[in-house]
Amino acid sequence: MLQAEGSVTFEYYCLPQFSRRRNITTSFHMFVKCPKDKYDFILGCDLLKDLGLIIDYSASKFMWDDIIVDMVPNGHWTQSRITNIVNSWNNNTKPKYRHDDNEMHITQILPADYKPTNITEVVNQKTHLTTDERDQLQRTLFDFQDLFQGKRGEFIGKPIELELLPGSKPFYGKPFSIPKAYQQITKDEVARLKSIGLFTKVVSSKLAAPTFIIPKKNNNVRGITDFRGLNKCLKCAPYLMPKIPNIFRGMEKFRYAMTIDLNMVIIQCL
C-alpha cells in the first residue's frame, strides 16, 4: 500500500534520452519509498497522454512526436553515464542522443477553469487596508459583481463593422502545426467556446486565420489567433489607447490604485 505525502511541481525538467531542449512542467504525487521500490518516480498514464509519449513494447522503443529512442535495460543509466551527460551540457558539447534545435518548449496546458470570484474572500486578503477601506472596496465590487461570475458577458454597444479595402482578396491562412501534446486540449477548448456560443462551426470559407494555444501564468489554456492577414484587407480605423502614465498624471489625490485582470478576454490577437 502506497502512502501519499502530498504533491510537488517540477518545472522545466527534461528527459535527456529524447532532448535537452524539450522541457516539461507538471505535478507529481509523492509517496513514501519502500526498500523494494525500483524506481524514483513513475510517469502516469495521464501525463503520457498529455505529452503524446508512446511506449511500444513490441518494438522496444519510446516515441515522442518525431523522436524515437530505444529502450535500455534496468540499471543502464549509471551515475557515471548521467555525469557524462551533465558535463557535456556544461561544456556545450554535442550530446550523443538526438535533438533538434527547432524543438519547442513543452509545458503542460490545463483546461480553462472559470469560476465565480468570492468577493468577500478577495477583500479580506487586502490586509494593508483598514476595516473601513475594505468595506468600501467590498461595496464597490458588489455593485459590479456581474463582472466576476466567471461567465461569458454580452456586448450591448453598437454592432462593430469591419470595412474591407476595395479589391482586397480573402485571406486564407495555413494552419499552425500543433504538437501532439496539445492537440486534445486544443480540441477541448474549441468545443468549450462553441458550447458557450462564441464559436460557430463553418464547413467551408474563403477566410481563415490560423490559431494555436499557449499557457497562461496559471498554465490554463489561452488561444492565440493570427489576424495579420485579415488586417491587410481592412481599412485602418485607429483608436488611440491612453497611456497609463498619462492616466495617473490626470488623477489627483488618490491613495490606492487597482487593476482588474480581464481573464476571460476570449481572443488574443497577433
The residues spanned by each domain of the chain are 4-90, 150-269
Could you tell me the three cell numbers for 249? 498624471
- Residue 30 grid coordinates: 509523492
Q: How many residues belong to the chain?
A: 270
CA distances from 140 to 134, 137, 251, 267 (A): 10, 5, 19, 28
Q: According to the model, what pLDDT value does residue 94 have?
A: 46
Q: Which is it for the CA torsion 248, 254, 255, 256, positive or negative?
A: negative
Cα separation of 237 and 143, whole Å? Answer: 34
Q: What is the predicted pLDDT for the residue at 121?
A: 93
Q: For the sheet containing 268-269, what is the strand order?
A: 211-215, 221-225, 268-269
What are the CA-CA distances from residue 179 to residues 43, 68, 190 (Å)? 19, 15, 16
Nearest to 89 by CA among 16, 24, 23, 22: 16
> Which pLDDT score is estimated for 5?
66
Q: How far apart are CA 203 and CA 33, in angstroms?
A: 54
> Would you tell me how many other CB atoms lie within 10 Å of the CB of residue 233?
16
Q: Which class for 83: exposed (0-12), middle (13-18), buried (19 or more C-beta within 10 A)?
A: exposed
DSSP per position, 172-209: BPPPPP--HHHHHHHHHHHHHHHHTTS----S--S-B-
pLDDT of 54: 83
* Residue corresponding to grid cell 461569458: 152
Torsion, CA 134, CA 140, CA 146, CA 152, rounded to 10: -80
Q: What is the pLDDT of residue 18?
A: 73
Q: What angle do CA 131, 133, 139 make, to 5 degrees?
A: 105
H/E segment holding residue 26 = strand 23-31
**3 state SS of 61:** strand
Set of cell numbers at residue 165: 479595402
What does each of the 270 residues of the chain score in pLDDT, given as a tens digit?
445 567 778 777 777 677 666 778 877 777 777 777 777 777 788 888 877 888 888 878 888 776 777 888 877 778 887 777 677 666 554 444 444 444 444 567 888 888 888 999 999 998 988 999 999 999 999 998 888 888 887 878 888 888 889 998 888 988 888 877 788 889 999 999 899 888 888 888 888 998 888 888 788 888 888 888 888 889 888 878 888 788 777 777 777 777 777 766 655 444
Q: For residue 101, what pLDDT is reported?
A: 42
Q: Which CATH number fits domain 150-269: 1.10.10.10, 3.60.9.10, 1.20.1250.20, 3.10.10.10?
A: 3.10.10.10
Q: What grid cell was written down for 100?
A: 533538434
What does DSSP say about strands 211-215 and 67-70: parallel, antiparallel, or unpaired? Answer: unpaired
Local structure of 123: helix, strand or coil: helix
pTM attached to this predicted model: 0.56
